[in-house]
Structure 1
Amino acid sequence: MVDLFTKFDPLINEREALLATGVRDPYAIVMDKVLSPTEAMINGKRTILLGTYNYMGMTFDPDVIAAGKAALDKFGSGTTGSRVLNGTYSGHKDCEDALKEYYGVDHAIVFSTGYQANLGMISALAGKGDYIILDADSHASIYDGCAMGKAEVVRFRHNSVEDLDKRLGRLPAEAGKLVVLEGVYSMLGDVAPLPEMVAVAKKHGAMILCDEAHGMGFFGPNGRGVYEEMGCEKDIDFVVGTFSKSVGTVGGFCVSNHPKFEVMRLVSRPYIFTASLPPSVVATAATSIRKLMHAGEKRAHLWKNSKRLHQGLRDMGYKLGTESAQSAIIAVILTDMAQAVSLWQGLLEAGLYVNTARPPATPAGMFLLRCSLCAEHTDEQVGEILGMFERAGRATGVIP
């Protein structure tokens, strides 16, 4: 018998060797109690959260929580069915209405996760004989959507307008083409040059899908994402997003003005063959989305936090993923996994939780700690975070 786990032996050995040095497993943290959008109890210690994607701090909003409790009492704990059978309640339609209001579009479809939104849209839109053109650093859900479909896949260099143009130019003019972009790339926190890329895609007759998972909530006058911030709203065909970040719950969606968009409910397998979100979840999402329409002050505070932390870490001597604060994500680049985990553990012991990331989630050979700021982080907390990074960085030798 061939042991199907044999292919994972190098990863298992690497992990065991790392844990043998006495460090904790960075991928096995348990939140004993969550106190607020910015604090939790971990191992009995009050800990500042800097790795949760809770960008707008909506998880403890009183109106959001009240909406979820009311729906739980009225509709029960789950739907036990897919959206095309018994799994569409009034709350699901209300959530899609909230998305249409928020994005100013004609159509919205809610999936059970953000991962499934990309999986469902990409695999259904581009079929045999079509082409999907995507950034080499695209999220795993985008790659998996490509793998599930039957289109030819073409990658271009990360954020390279020139390479996108060149690769589109090599494709048959008569073929269907879908260019997939992300407003904010989740590992380094850098943003895409959307106006230039949109212009190139349109020149070659391609449709465009933009993933705004990490841009929704705080980019643009209405918080719709990078594509709104950069004035590309009229040219993007499909916008995909998630509820698990700025919205503060779970779920995914796609919005569009395409007149034939509703057919996606009949052709997207992850939509058809997945149980729909519980009523309490869509109720929290709809309430949060409507409140995010009027969150200008929170957006401004989040940007202040991001710029202050980015500059402070640079001044200490840390190598960061971007030259300036481009989003709420700040990536601290380390030399290897051992150094990354050493700094991560030093921060955790000091009372700060961040994410560790390594290949294949990151580009080849890159190891980093990823910080995700929240609009609810106070000025005092940002000061504490900087102090922890300075002390832990010196203790581990990451900074002078």
Structure 2
Amino acid sequence: MPCPFLGSLSQTFVRNYGANLMKQYGNFCPIVSRGFRSFGNDETKCPFIQENAIIAEAPKEMSEDIVDNTPPYHYENFFHEQISAKKKDYSYRVFRKVSRLAADGMYPQALEGLDNRRVTVWCANDYLGTSRHPEVQDAAINAIKSYGTGAGGTRNIAGNSQMTEQLEAEIAKLHKKPAALIFSSCFVANDATLSTLAKLLPGCIVFSDAGNHASMIQGIRNSRAPKHIFRHNDPNHLRKLLSESPAGVPKLVVFETVHSMSGAICPLEEMCDIAHEYGALTFVDEVHAVGLYGKHGAGIAEERGLQNKVDIVSGTLGKAYGNVGGYIAGSSLLVDTIRSLAPGFIFTTALPPPVLAGSLASIRLLASEEGRQFRARHQAMVRYFKLSLLVAGLPQLPSVSHIVPVPVEGADKVARVAESLLRRGHYVQAINYPTVARGDERLRFAPGPFHTPEMIDSVVSSLIDAFHENGINFEQFIQNGACRECSMEYKMEVPYEEPYVYPMQVA
């Protein structure tokens, strides 16, 4: 006869503690303690004890030795399997030991590896080299001397510094918005803003570009708002989805201006007009455009005179502005709502003084005439690089921006080509899944104003050798009979033939 009390417990528990329970059943057993006279005259006699005699009569020492033999979960084995799978399909991320140099005459070079070998960097997002500009460096150094290296906590706890407010005012002015808010990174800015806004607006529906960055995808997912994904940079598909959505409910249309991996630029005006036609707010990520486009470096919206059509703009201080951090800019009430309700902002340590001061100096620098010279030199080097690939017969994805993607299909092949280039003194990181889809692997080049035509000639020559070395056929890309030997005949004239020198460094 099974015991209704012991039967309700796990076998492991009974094995370990059953003997003690039997010996003290008056305190533990809910059946005997309530008294069941039908079991006999003795209320304290358990009718099931005989069937559990082995456990009941076992010595205390033996009962305490009875343990569950189920082995614990092997966490380290699981982690090993996950990493092994990543390495097997070449999606494992290898972080190169690269220390970028800031001294005159060395940038954009870096020290690579344990032996500090000199290499040229082609994939950094410090697009204009402002991280090493004397004005930016001096501002950061002076801020450290005056205010220390850290913020001391969140803005609510440690206090809101004057530099924080100055930087937000400068960002708002740059984007012609009433207000701005800075975050620890643009990933956090996108995630916190979209998750808070889409969750807060009643019944909000999100329309997201298929090519959006992981930060925006994460923010939309965290909001748990219903979403529709429209084809990358396809305003017609966006219109179709919006036309099928209910009228009178809040809507967010979320997309980027410059796509980080393809270099494509969105049809900004058309997408904003369609969004507003259906009563939606536009959330536009200008991360890879701020500092690089427009008279003052405010991005594609400024370059095309469309800043008034963007409701919320997000940007970064960590790429063309050479520091770290992200931001949004928009209406005063919208910004205040995010400031008051977004956990990603409220509970994160504020940006430190040197970052605030360096970012403020960098924004002002790139809004000046010197910044316009940087942009002109930058675009000239990008054109030279693209044309050099073209005349050498090397593949490149169509890009109208400063990002130059060179496709190398296969995670194993793109990794080997990147390794071959590194051996030849050129650092460019292989891009594979999950950053891009499998089969869309590439090398992502970002030439800047401090690269020279000689550097570009060298990396193109090395790329040809790397393709040959790894058995990659690219002859089908040769156009107009161009070849390696005669490519210089097709090179365009590039302004500022000498490497750019900061004005304050000229004797």
* TM-score, L = length of structure 2: 0.74
Superposed counterparts of 1:249-268, under 5 Å: 249-268=323-342
The partner residue of 1:53 within 119, 125, 131 is: 125
Superposed counterparts of 1:125-164, under 5 Å: 125-127=197-199, 129-164=203-238
Residue 237 of structure 1 contacts residue 258 of structure 1 at CA under 8 Å; is this kept in 2?
no
Residue 450 (structure 2) pairs with residue 380 (structure 1): no
For 2:223 and 2:142, locate their aligned partners in 1 and report how far apart those are by CA, in whole Å.
Answer: 39
For 2:385 and 2:119, locate their aligned partners in 1 and report how far apart those are by CA, in whole Å.
Answer: 18
Partner-residue secondary structure (3-state), 1:108:
strand
CA offset at residue 17 of structure 1?
7.1
Residue 242 of structure 1 contacts residue 251 of structure 1 at CA under 8 Å; is this kept in 2?
yes
* TM-score, L = length of structure 1: 0.92
CA offset at residue 2 of structure 1?
5.1
Listed one character per residue, the Cα deviations across residues 45-80 of structure 1 (whole Å, up to 9, x for unaligned) are 211111111111101101111111111111112122
Structure 2 match to 1:240: 314
CA offset at residue 242 of structure 1?
0.6
Superposed counterparts of 1:1-400, under 5 Å: 6=78, 9=81, 12-16=84-88, 27-32=94-99, 34-35=101-102, 36-43=106-113, 44-127=116-199, 129-294=203-368, 295-322=371-398, 325-398=399-472, 399-400=474-475
Size of the alignment, in residue pairs? 393
Partner-residue secondary structure (3-state), 2:158:
coil
For 2:353 and 2:90, locate their aligned partners in 1 and report how far apart those are by CA, in whole Å.
Answer: 43
Listed one character per residue, the Cα deviations across residues 237-290 of structure 1 (whole Å, up to 9, x for unaligned) are 011001110000100011124554323210111110100111111110000010
Distance 1:106 1:333, change over 3 A: same
Residue 83 of structure 1 contacts residue 271 of structure 1 at CA under 8 Å; is this kept in 2?
no
CA offset at residue 390 of structure 1?
2.5
**Which sections of structure 1, spanning at least 5 residues, go unmatched?**
20-24
Distance 1:168 1:80, change over 3 A: same
Listed one character per residue, the Cα deviations across residues 339-366 of structure 1 (whole Å, up to 9, x for unaligned) are 1011101111111111211122113431
Sequence identity, in percent?
27
Structure with the larger RCO, 1 or 2 (CA within 8 Å, 6+ apart): 1
Residue 175 of structure 2 contacts residue 307 of structure 2 at CA under 8 Å; is this kept in 1?
no
Q: In structure 2, what residue type is equivalent to 1:310?
A: K
For 2:444 and 2:347, locate their aligned partners in 1 and report how far apart those are by CA, in whole Å.
Answer: 34
Q: Between Structure 1 and Structure 2, which shows a larger proportion of strand residues?
A: 1
For 1:2 and 1:315, locate their aligned partners in 2 and report how far apart those are by CA, in whole Å.
Answer: 58
Structure 2 match to 1:22: none
CA offset at residue 301 of structure 1?
1.0
For 1:159 and 1:211, locate their aligned partners in 2 and report how far apart those are by CA, in whole Å.
Answer: 13
Residue 181 of structure 2 contacts residue 335 of structure 2 at CA under 8 Å; is this kept in 1?
no
The root-mean-square deviation of aligned C-alpha atoms, in Å, is 2.1
Deviates more, 1:119-128 or 1:69-78: 119-128
